[in-house]
Copies of this chain bind each other. A is one copy, B any other.
Amino acid sequence: MEITVSIDAMGGDHGVHVTVPAALQFLKAHPDVNVVLVGLQDAIEAELKARHATVGPRLRIHHASEVVAMDEAPQLALKNKKDSSMRVSINLVKSGEAHACVSAGNTGALMATARFVLKTLAGIDRPAIAKMLPTMHGTSCVLDLGANVDCTPEQLYQFGVMGAALSSALNHQDRPTVGLLNIGSEDIKGNEVVKEAAELLKASSLNFRGNVEGNDIYKGTVDVVVCDGFTGNVALKASEGLAKMLTEILKDEFSRSWWRKLIALVAMPVLLSFRHRMDTRRFNGASLLGLRGIVVKSHGGADRLGFYYALEQALEEARSGVLHKITETMADHVVASKAAAERT
């Protein structure tokens, strides 16, 4: 299937200077993929020209006259900027002209707009932000990462369904394992919401493995880690901060004397492959899950390579039919719940 991805070309800290070159790299890597760059025509054309690229059948520009600022209030952006690059990119998914949309813009505005334009899938109360994080043996899907500060047990359960669908689609797993993030593995731990969510997950057809703790995320104990958006966001950002600190310390240790700098030169191939394996840019794409369309959020400060990986994520989601998987799982759950209700 030929996939078309719409790109909010103006989003992120660097706008077209990052989104356009990333789109060009993406087109080069995938000869069967089309891209629509959405935003200020002049700015996009200027950037294409600077990169010696031109529009064509696989690369279109869709003009949008407004830009959502990185610090703009989500509700104001939604209300006032109907011709923003962000909104128009999402519109293209809604109309079927694109199979997925990628934006590095303001997360709150992206979530509010995507939810308003695309609506949620049947059975899903609110969308969640999900990310594949590296583990010892592969990746694990963690959600929610900040869209929902306070969650009901039902929402946490729905996150489990959505995460399992994403994990299953991206990692080609049959029955991905699901864990509930808590502060202890015992059933008695955690607050009331978490305890009730555990009951719902246990009773579901998901491959639920019970509570997991923060360290289980990177151990890869389960394929999907479910949590509320406050906890998930803090855990993710704390991890990012720690990874950055460790990299700085490693750099510092290798540059403290001319002798150590020499050792660093010798060890360079090893250090580079270490850096590659822990390169956060490879895990830049965050999926807005639970919507009737594929929307991937890139980090606002992402560089070309980071944004490129977000595009890759959108493509993989579109190809693997993740939306269909969520709908199917939710429908199965409804059938199973009904059958269970009839039995009792």
A: which residues have CB within 8 A of B? Answer: 71, 134-136, 146, 149-150, 181, 183, 186, 190-191, 213-219, 227, 229-231, 233-246, 248-250, 253-254, 260, 263-264, 266-267, 270, 273-274, 277-278
Smallest CB-CB A-B distances: 9 pairs: A214-B237, A215-B241, A214-B238, A218-B241, A183-B233, A235-B238, A214-B234, A218-B245, A215-B237
Interface of A is mostly: helix
CA distance A300 to B213 in the complex (A): 16
Checking B191, B245, B246, B264 against A230 with a beta-carbon cut-off of 8 angstroms, the contacting residue is B191
A183 and B234: CB pair below 8 A?
A: yes
CA distance A274 to B260 in the complex (A): 12
- With both beta carbons as reference points, the residue of chain B lying nearest to A214 in the complex is identified as B237
CA distance A71 to B188 in the complex (A): 12
> Inside 8 A of A217's CB, which chain B residues have their CB?
238, 241-242
Other than A219-B245, A238-B238, give 18 A-B pairs with Cβ distance below 8 A. A136-B245, A149-B183, A183-B237, A191-B230, A214-B233, A214-B235, A214-B240, A215-B237, A217-B242, A218-B238, A219-B241, A231-B231, A235-B235, A235-B238, A253-B273, A263-B270, A264-B270, A266-B267
Nearest chain B CB to A131 CB, angstrom units = 13
CA distance A274 to B227 in the complex (A): 33
Number of copies: 2
9 example contacts (A-B, Cβ-Cβ < 8 A) are as follows: A214-B233, A216-B241, A219-B245, A236-B238, A238-B238, A238-B239, A239-B239, A242-B243, A246-B246
Nearest chain B CB to A130 CB, angstrom units = 16
- With both beta carbons as reference points, the residue of chain B lying nearest to A272 in the complex is identified as B253
B245 and A242: CB pair below 8 A?
A: no
B237 and A213: CB pair below 8 A?
A: yes
Nearest chain B CB to A184 CB, angstrom units = 8
A135 and B245: CB pair below 8 A?
A: yes
> Inside 8 A of A277's CB, which chain B residues have their CB?
249, 253
CA distance A159 to B96 in the complex (A): 52
A263 and B267: CB pair below 8 A?
A: yes
CA distance A289 to B199 in the complex (A): 34
